[in-house]
A and B are shown apart, each in its own frame.
Chain A
Amino acid sequence: MVDAAAGVTETSLLRWIPFLPLGAAAIHGVLLGLVRRPLSRRGTIFLSCGAVLASFLISLFAFAELLGPEGPRVRVDNLYTWIGAGNFSAEASFLLDPISAVMILVVTFVGFLIHVYSIGYMDDDHRDDTGFQRFFCYLNLFTFSMLMLVLGDNLLVMFLGWEGVGLCSYLLIGFWYSDRWNAYCGMKAFVVNRIGDFGFLVGIFVLFWALADVGKPTVAFREIAAAFPQIADRMVTLPAWLGGAEWKLATLVGLCFFLGACGKSAQIPLYVWLPDAMAGPTPVSALIHAATMVTAGVYMVCRLSFLYAAAPGASAVIAWTGAITALFAATIAITQTDIKKILAYSTVSQLGYMFLAAGCGGYAAALFHLATHAFFKALLFLGAGAVILAMHHEQDTDKMGGLARAIPRTRWVFLVGVIAISGLPPFAGFFSKDEILLTAFAAHSVPGNTWLYGIGVVTAVLTSLYMFRLYFRTFHGATRLSPENFRRVHEPSETVRYPLYVLAVFSLFAGFAGFPQVYGDWLGIPDSNSLAHFLAPVLAGGLHDPGVSHGEELRLALLALGAATAGLVVAWWFYLRSPDLPGRIMQSFHAFWLLLHEKYFVDEIYDALFVRPTVWISDRVLFRSIDAGLIDGVAVNGTARGVQALAARGLKYVHSGLTQSYLFLMILGTVAIVGWLLR
């Protein structure tokens, strides 16, 4: 744990990291919304990509400063006091510590690559004149919000970014809003996220209330961490209408925050928005719904690791929710055919892995997988976008196949992403997923951790299976396109391809940032897991040592490798060797297949349980009865009708038109007032 007072350096560098993209977004907004003179495409590209690139370079510089020998590990950029009231003050300030350093590097680097990719991807979008600039405006605004989220020094700044990314997600999912379905998906994402945000807010309130109760009203992370041991073991009695049970404060607050994380990071029961969020343009899916925004929940859990370390109950809930989500989403992904839907469920599943690690106390493992996942999932989404471009906006893998001959470059980088996510060494996903499985295996404090490990391994098999299924069905086998359509398939432009190459390189090598010590010992590298060492000072539990012997660790790694290979072999058997086999299995287990293919009917269940009753109550009770009936009918129109009737029946006769009667009334009034004053 970092001491709250010592080791803090002031800097005024950090503010530029979020404010440069904000400036670009503001210029776009003014030009589009107020001046109504859109920039040229070249100007838009220069402004947006330039801002994010500059932001990345500053992040890199700040990160390098942080690495300095024996230098303080924490840097703070304090802008001004946002809220000051008595002995409470919330600063508008940014915090750079190892956690946020990793996050800003991922956000600005992947963000910049996706900005570049978007130049090519959005180039053929002629749905409206200003769409190109509007897209980059939202993208910049998103980058700003995400950076606020990860750089925020206290819960309030973080919440500002948290809401900001939600808004940008909504704007970008419904980017092509003229299609009602896209607008609906944006709304769904926003509404589901509100439920999570509610939990987040309640968490902030309860935490603040408890801190104020011990005389330390604060929202700043480092101060909360310092004061938290005083309140962690308090018991809180819920109000009677919530059951009146006694809860440990740390558990209660932890669960409230985790509800927020469930919303943003698409975990059961709030994951339903993410697959539908694929209605947005593909760069958006890559940036927001794979690499950055959806990892905000994982980031928050790691940021509050001191809280979760003191709340074993909440941690167990996180680990189990993560594991079940990982398995659940992976089973759905196996039966989907839409290329983006498969990747969306895969994202839900991988986020489940991250929560599994965080719940088991492996915060560094969670952040490691977050970073590697950002690279390979962005690569996969952008690769899918390249396929979609090549196929002239066809997303259904049922209508693809054999594309390896037509778009070989896209195929190779896509294959890198597939191998990375499947967890085959030495690609990035192998190391990060292995560390998560190891953490789960060794987390004896979590009830049923052996089961968690088992679920993790099964999910690893399924991951490799659905990813290679996607790859084989898209790029190999007999093509399901007509010959003339197949000839029209073309490689995308350079701006689309180059970001893919860069991401492919990182998907290949990013894993070495967290190179496990067990291999490091062979090669004679001390402290080979440099990421974990870098993060250790600011995470609860420090350098998380699972306490597993090297021999055991190797056996586990071999098992994980076996799982990934098993998935690969099954996918190869099913989709290349005997392609009619899946159909036959589908026939014999039709009910089960339907259950998976229809996503366990969760959307339908939610629709019947929550959406329809809410809509019915809103329409019949709130709108028709209360709003239209009571407020409009009685209060507003009733008043008007009453006054009208009164005036028509009696009051109008006061206006006789006789000046003298007015004068008489005026004198009476004057006499009355003077008489009252002289009383």
Chain B
Amino acid sequence: MLVPLEHVIALSAVIFGIGVVGAVTRRNVIVILMSIELMLNAVNLAFVGFSRAWANPTGQVFVLMVITVAAAEVAVGLGIVLSLFRNRDSVDVEEVSLLKW
């Protein structure tokens, strides 16, 4: 039995919403990065769902692309977090607001 496309989209939307809320509200940088990862994977899920629904493999190819970019993003993001922690002994984003008026 196939999972209907509506279900896939609904799950994707819920995960994406969780990701957005997490990215906007949490103060720990690590958690924010994880929330972004959630959003990316919600999109991946939608890609795969659509790909299967329309029998078009392009969506699945794109998912591989997104995973690659996500890996790179995490590498860079964690690098920034690491140097931030070394300099400030904290990973709280509220304390990193130097670029303002």
Contact indicator B101/A667 (Cβ below 8 Å): no
Main SS of chain A's interface residues?
Answer: helix
Q: Does B98 contact A (CB under 8 A)?
A: yes
Contact indicator A653/B23 (Cβ below 8 Å): no
Q: Which residues of B contact A667 (CB under 8 A)?
A: 20, 24
Q: Which of A656, A658, A660 is within 8 Å of B23, CB to CB?
A: A660
Chain A 630-664: CB-based contact to B (< 8 A → 1; otherwise 0): 00000000000000000000001101111110011
Within 8 A of A (CB), among B1-56: 20, 23-25, 32
Report the bound CA distance from A664 to B94 in whole Å.
Answer: 14
Q: Which residues of B contact A663 (CB under 8 A)?
A: 23-24
Q: Which residues of A contact B72 (CB under 8 A)?
A: none
Contact indicator B100/A655 (Cβ below 8 Å): yes
Report the bound CA distance from A659 to B97 in whole Å.
Answer: 8
Q: Which residues of B contact A659 (CB under 8 A)?
A: 93, 96
Contact indicator B24/A660 (Cβ below 8 Å): yes
Count residues on chain A whose CB falls below 8 Å from chain B CBs: 11
Report the bound CA distance from A667 to B23 in whole Å.
Answer: 11
Complex: chain A residue closest to B32, CB-CB: A660
Complex: chain A residue closest to B27, CB-CB: A660
Report the bound CA distance from A658 to B101 in whole Å.
Answer: 11
Q: Which residues of A contact B100 (CB under 8 A)?
A: 655-658
Q: How far is the CB of A398 from chain B (nearest CB, A)?
A: 77
Within 8 A of B (CB), among A72-97: none
Chain B 87-101: CB-based contact to A (< 8 A → 1; otherwise 0): 000000110111111
Contact indicator A658/B97 (Cβ below 8 Å): yes
Q: Which residues of B contact A660 (CB under 8 A)?
A: 23-25, 32, 93
Contact indicator A657/B98 (Cβ below 8 Å): yes
Chain B 67-101: CB-based contact to A (< 8 A → 1; otherwise 0): 00000000000000000000000000110111111
Q: How far is the CB of A31 from chain B (nearest CB, A)?
A: 56
Q: Which of B20, B25, B99 is within 8 Å of A657, CB to CB?
A: B99
Q: Which residues of A contact B23 (CB under 8 A)?
A: 660, 663
Q: Which residues of B contact A652 (CB under 8 A)?
A: 101
Q: How far is the CB of A663 from chain B (nearest CB, A)?
A: 6
Q: How far is the CB of B47 from chain A (nearest CB, A)?
A: 18
Q: Which residues of A contact B32 (CB under 8 A)?
A: 660
Contact indicator B20/A656 (Cβ below 8 Å): no
User: Counting chain A CB atoms within 10 Å of each CB, which of B20, B94, B101 scores highest?
Assistant: B101
What would 10 A/B residue contacts be, using CB atoms closer than 8 Å? Answer: A655-B99, A655-B100, A655-B101, A656-B97, A656-B100, A657-B100, A658-B93, A660-B25, A660-B32, A660-B93
Going nearest first, the 5 A-B pairs with the smallest beta carbon separation are: A657-B100, A657-B97, A652-B101, A657-B99, A664-B24
Listed in ascending order, the chain B residues whose CB lies under 8 Å from chain A are 20, 23-25, 32, 93-94, 96-101
With A656-B97, A657-B98, A660-B24 known, 4 other A-B pairs at CB within 8 A are A655-B101, A658-B93, A659-B93, A660-B32
